[in-house]
Amino acid sequence: ENNLFKDIVAHAKEYGFVYQSSEIYDGLQAVYDYGPYGAELKKNIKELWWNTMTRFHDDIVGLDSAIFMHPDTWKASGHIDSFNDPMIDNKDSKKRYRADVLIEDKAAAYEKDGDKDKAQALLDKMGQLMTDEDMEGLRNLIIEEGIKCPVSGTDNWTEVRQFNLMFSTQIGSVADDSNKIYLRPETAQGIFVNFLNVQKTARMKVPFGIAQIGKAFRNEIVARQFIFRMREFEQMEMQFFVRPGEELDWYEKWRDTRMKWHKALGIPENKLKFHIHEKLAHYANAAVDVEFEFPFGFKEIEGIHSRTDFDLKRHMEVSKKKIQYFDPEISKNYIPYVVETSVGCDRLFLMLMCNAFTEEVTGEEGNEKKRIYLKFKPALAPVKAAVLPLTKKDGLPEKAREIYKQLKSMHNVVYEEAASIGKRYTRQDLIGTPYCIAVDHQTLEDDTVTIRDRDTTSQERMSIDDAIKFINDKCSF
């Protein structure tokens, strides 16, 4: 299973999807760059999310707020005081770990050995210690369980300390503490502080939502599993403002709507599940994660939370500005309640890569052929079609270029004439291009081309006009 994940990571690099940041300087941990095909895929994910959230919901509008915010924002939101992870160092290896993750790994090991009850008991114990913020208790649990450092193999642990995940920097030219600002650890607060601006200027009536896509930064202690946990990543969040008392209905609606969305990406039903939070954050009255089955297990990709009026109320208290909504239908002033959907773009990217990566063995025993291809839904694929002249002569390139030009204005398509047609097909399979259009001698006679399907490798002949219609049709959502 982990070999599968290694193959996926290697594939992502080899074929221009994801590179380690600053690789020539030996890389920067948990920071990644997206290559040409990765950038296209990521753009497609964001576009799809944005379009479904804003264009297809008349009651949701978009926002693009700044990464830097007034430092009081983070006082109000609780991030300065409590956006912490418990960290522990191993004295021998000098490696730093998240105490809760070490314990979770141990529980996973119990579960793997078939001891589900023991795993659950351990997780419950840890959950309680985390809720109580009992750092000494966490350390004792690590010692009791005999958890060893994965690197040094020893259990020579330091005490557990709270570690704040926000990055900070200075604004202006004077480096003193009063100029300290943070890189936002979530996009949501930009939405909360703009609640009234948006409501008034876009003339919105509760219930309505605000959607935003943007970078977020967290100084994650354990950065593992490739782009699953990054220090710089992108979130796609939507805060939906509702009448107090109606939030749980909206919560259920959004929970189901978002699950449908993930399925529409082509993710099979059995690879997605809900994980209901039993222990709720103090500001939430309902919370659920959507989880996807990565090669390393079911993990969160999106959170849907009913956050009550916690955030708006806190901003009102700290800013001393009145943040209220007058509801003309019931002639009442109130602080709206919030249901949020929060998904990581990079995690969706990883989900789609894992889901698309397909290895197929064909042919007879002793003479097997392995084919690797990325089975993206056509609308999400980085390249929608490749136009390929069979040979470089007899006017085929010119004809192929005409078709390429026609498609180019609507889709990201490529034209390629080098190498054998088989090699060119393989190359497109590896980056997940759903269709290849081959131009041959018959094309010159009757204006027909063949379209090769990535998944079946079967070919169909049709007129150029039909081929263009076909691509338009198959590559839209």
**Nearer Cβ to ligand ATP, position 91 or 277?**
277
Relative to beta strand 357-362, strand 369-374 is: antiparallel
Task: Please enumerate in sequence order all residues whose Cβ is within 8 A of that of 393, keeping only pairs 6 or more positions apart, or say none.
Answer: none
Question: Is 302 a residue that touches ligand ATP (CB under 6 A)?
Answer: yes
Amino acid identity of 201?
Answer: T
Q: How far apart are CA 468 and CA 435, in angstroms?
A: 11
Question: Is 38 a residue that touches ligand ATP (CB under 6 A)?
Answer: no
Q: How far apart are CA 417 and CA 390, in angstroms?
A: 8
Question: Is 301 a residue that touches ligand ATP (CB under 6 A)?
Answer: yes
Sheet holding 448-453, edge to edge: 413-415, 385-389, 435-439, 448-453, 459-463
From residue 258 to residue 297, what is the string marking binding to ligand ATP with x (rule CB under 6 A)? Answer: ----------------------------------------
Give the shortest CB-290-to-ligand ATP separation in angstroms: 8
Question: Is 303 a residue that touches ligand ATP (CB under 6 A)?
Answer: yes
Contact at 8 Å (CB) between 31 and 18? Answer: no
Give the shortest CB-1-to-ligand ATP separation in angstroms: 20
Task: Indicate which single residue of 164, 189, 235, 450 sits in contact with ligand ATP (rule: CB under 6 A).
Answer: 235
**Nearer Cβ to ligand ATP, position 139 or 231?**
231
Q: How far apart are CA 327 and CA 212, in angstroms?
A: 24
| Rg of the chain in Å (alpha carbons) | 26
Q: Which residue is nearest to ligand ATP (CB)?
A: 344
Question: Is 344 a residue that touches ligand ATP (CB under 6 A)?
Answer: yes
Residue 341 annotated as lining a ligand binding site? yes
Q: How far apart are CA 143 and CA 85, in angstroms?
A: 19
Contact at 8 Å (CB) between 20 and 183? Answer: no
Phi then psi for residue 141, to 5 deg, are -65, -40
**Nearer Cβ to ligand ATP, position 230 or 356?**
230
Residues of this chain, 174-213, that bind ligand ATP according to CB under 6 A: 186
Contact at 8 Å (CB) between 29 and 231? Answer: yes
Q: Which stretch binds ligand ATP (CB under 6 A): 252-260, 341-349, 365-373, 428-436?
A: 341-349
Q: Annotated binding residues for ATP, as ranges?
A: 218-220, 228-233, 300-301, 344-347
Binding site for ligand ATP (CB under 6 A): 186, 218, 220, 229-230, 233, 235, 300-303, 342-344, 346-347
